[in-house]
Amino acid sequence: MNRHLLSMFTAVALLAVHTCAHAADRPPVESFFAHPDVSFVTLSPSGRYVALLNRLSDSKQALVVRETANLEKVTVVARFDSLRLRHIEWINDQRLTLTLKNTQIEFEGNDDQIAVDRDGANLTHLISGHWDHKQETTGSFIKDRVLTADYMFMDVTHDGSDDIIVGKLSWNNIDQQPQAIHPFRLNTRTRVLTDMLTGPQPELVRDWLFDAADQPRVAVTRGKGRCIVYYRKGQQGPWSEISNRDCLQDEIFDPLMFDNRNTLYVRAGYKGRTALFTFDLDKKTLDKEPFVDIDGFDFTGSVEQDLANKKILGVHFVSDAASTAWIDPAMQAIQKKVDALLPGAGNRVTCPRDCREPAAVVVTSKSDRLPPAYYLYTPADGHIIGLGSTHQAIDRKQMGKRDFLHYAARDGLQIPVYVTMPPDKAAGPRPAIVLVHGGPYVRGGSWEWDAEAQFLASRGYVVLQPEFRGSTGFGSAHFRAGWQQWGRTMQDDLADAAAWAVKQGWADPKRIGIMGASYGGYATLMGLARNPDVFRAGVEWAGVSDIKLMFTDVESDASQDALRYDMKTLIGDPLKDPSAFDDVSPLAQATRIRRPLLMAHGAHDRRVPVVHATKMHDAVRKTNANVEYVVYPEEGHGWRREEDSIDFWKRVDAFLDKNLAHAAD
């Protein structure tokens, strides 16, 4: 293990618990946006041990392991300084693997991977987050060498060995993002690296799916606008094509997992939405009826299985809120008992790998007014013990109610929306915020805890989070309705959300603001330019200001494939009609923005390079003096450093209080 990593990852002997005092009326910014107090709660394969990340009194982090039969038996495995934990998995009951991010390096990827025994011994550095071209690797076997940053963690194995699966990334000579990944098996003690593939194989594979024996059986490629899925019957068998489709125009075919009986589960189109199907690998056909289908929602979720006993237990999914449908009677009984012990919350139960008679299960409990809290439930005696919350200073009484509703856009399209109300009662309409999700072609939220929405609600704002057209999760028609509608009907949906809230009597029409990040930042700028009578102030961070720059900026991480296919379909073609983007680019409309504006950006943002912000700020300042602007020098596309996140939300708090909360016009 190199000295640089050792300086940031050191063993400790004592664990301190971080606590915060409750504010009398307005919870402080830190209670929402500080790094979690407890997170990454994960059971060992047998269920005898639970690993979790604890925040220490000095704001650093420590990885601890507890015995589930006696939680007082605690081992502090390691303490993190400038490294932050991104992912943790048990390799077996003795050993864990951790993915770590150096907060001093902005770029996505460049993660360190280590493995360590549950008592803190035998710590092995597996992948370095630092590029070192002197360590270029050749051949199938590498001993006693730390892999370079062109490797990444993919999965653990499930055979009880000390091995994990890593992928070697490859690039073309143009794109910043890798074009393919190749799987290897890596022993976490000896560092022996073994190629998992032999013979002819598909080219430019973006994703691999492994069966229950940890063999790569499904390969997913993406190129020139086409998504192709290949399958092989056995470890040495030939690869055959099972799906070849236009990635956007055709019905989705998204392989999710193999179960222990060699059944492939696929997310595929059904009645205008996506559902979960089983797939006959011999006939290469979907089952006639879906395994899981949720009326009104695309299937988003995962299958819970008992790996040791080759049994599907149930399916986790999201409709308006997260839930689980259990097939296994024993798990149904456990869920019922847990829900009785933790009423009023969504309680996700997670089994260890051997779930026949689990020693313990982990419960992640959260609601609209409470951030995730973790519990250990032991089915044998029915006891449940709290392990802590991600944000322990949050008081449920200071949080507002959150609902899932619909409103009609001006063309009649029904738009889903999450509404979070302030916790206190009001005699009349209040100030309101339309909080716009990024993407934009993603789902924005769920009913459960949303720190940004609850923070704003705690300041007295009604928070509207529209799943505007173009958002995924609500059927293909809703998704397609947003194609090439940046600044047009997608933008209308946001103004219509504000008008709807006024009509409901919730929002004061003279005190409605708009805010968001990435696409949400773009929509904020366009909202202030197009609808100054609706939106009286705006906050944007990491926002797009010039659509043409998305296609031309050399600092952008958009691939050539995305530029030529996906973005032309979803956003528009800059070659066919370059002037069309002027009407829907905030930069071209900068002189129309006269309302107060807060802008923030990361200096190292590669998704939306900072030139978007600098050009926009300079243009708006020519006609609008009420513009605040901050660049965070160590950040990328969003805030990773705790101090930056807290600083930003303090600025938001002060800006909205000054320009919206008490504004008369």
Instruction: List, for residues 144-184, the tens digit of each pLDDT value.
Output: 589 998 999 999 999 999 999 999 999 888 878 888 999 99
CA distances from 655 to 502, 515, 592, 650 (A): 22, 12, 20, 9
CA distances from 260 to 48, 212, 255, 256, 327 (A): 23, 5, 15, 14, 16
- How does pLDDT run across 441-458, given as a tens digit for each residue? 999 999 999 999 999 999
Q: What is the pTM of this model?
A: 0.92
| 202 Cβ contact partners less than 8 Å away, ≥ 6 residues apart | 219, 221, 228, 230, 239
pLDDT band at 18 (very low <50, low <70, confident <90, very high): very low
- The count of C-alpha atoms lying within 13 angstroms of the C-alpha of 548, restricted to the half-sphere facing its C-beta, is 14
Q: What is the Rg, in whole angstroms, of the alpha carbon atoms belonging to the chain?
A: 25
Say what the alpha-carbon torsion angle 48, 53, 54, 60 is, to the nearest 10 degrees: 150
| Nearest in space to 380 (alpha carbons), one of 363, 358, 356 | 358
* CATH 3.40.50.1820 matches 400-661: yes
- What's the pLDDT score for residue 103? 64
Please check whether residue 495 is in contact with residue 527, taking contact to mean a CB–CB distance below 8 angstroms: yes
Please check whether residue 76 is in contact with residue 61, taking contact to mean a CB–CB distance below 8 angstroms: no
Q: Which residue has the higher pLDDT, 561 or 333?
A: 333
Q: Which of 23-37, 222-236, 324-338 has the highest mean pLDDT?
A: 324-338
CA distance 476 to 470: 9
Measured CA angle at 227 (ends 221, 228), to 5 deg: 60
Does position 192 have pLDDT exceeding 50, yes or no? yes
CA distance 256 to 451: 29
- How does pLDDT run across 31-87, given as a tens digit for each residue? 999 999 999 999 999 999 999 999 887 778 899 999 999 999 999 998 887 678 889
- Would you list the DSSP string of 418-445? EEE--SS--SS-EEEEEEE-SSSSS---
Does position 399 have pLDDT exceeding 90, yes or no? yes
Does position 16 have pLDDT exceeding 60, yes or no? no
Q: Which residue has the higher pLDDT, 179 or 556?
A: 179
What per-residue string of b and e applies to 511-523 under the rule 16 or more CB within 10 Å gives b?
Answer: bbbbbbbbbbbbb
Please check whether residue 108 is in contact with residue 125, taking contact to mean a CB–CB distance below 8 angstroms: no
CA distance 464 to 523: 14
- Per-residue pLDDT, averaged over 124-149, amounts to 65
- What's the pLDDT score for residue 109? 57
Supply the mean pLDDT for the chain.
Answer: 90
Domain ranges for the chain:
1-130+141-190, 197-299, 320-393, 400-661
Instruction: Match domain 1-130+141-190 to its CATH number in 2.40.128, 1.10.1060, 1.10.3470, 2.40.50.
Output: 2.40.128
Q: Lowest-confidence range among 265-274, 424-433, 655-664?
A: 655-664
- How does pLDDT run across 478-489, given as a tens digit for each residue? 999 999 999 999
Does position 540 have pLDDT exceeding 70, yes or no? yes
- How does pLDDT run across 586-617, given as a tens digit for each residue? 999 999 999 999 999 999 999 999 999 999 99
For strands 537-541 and 597-602, give the pairing: parallel
3-state SS track over 281-294: CCCCEECCCCCECE
pLDDT band at 104 (very low <50, low <70, confident <90, very high): low
Please check whether residue 230 is in contact with residue 239, taking contact to mean a CB–CB distance below 8 angstroms: yes
Angle between helices 489-503 and 519-530 (to 10 degrees): 70
| Nearest in space to 59 (alpha carbons), one of 16, 102, 25 | 16
- How does pLDDT run across 504-538, given as a tens digit for each residue? 999 999 999 999 999 999 999 999 999 999 999 99
240 burial level (CB within 10 Å; 0-12, 13-18, 19+): exposed
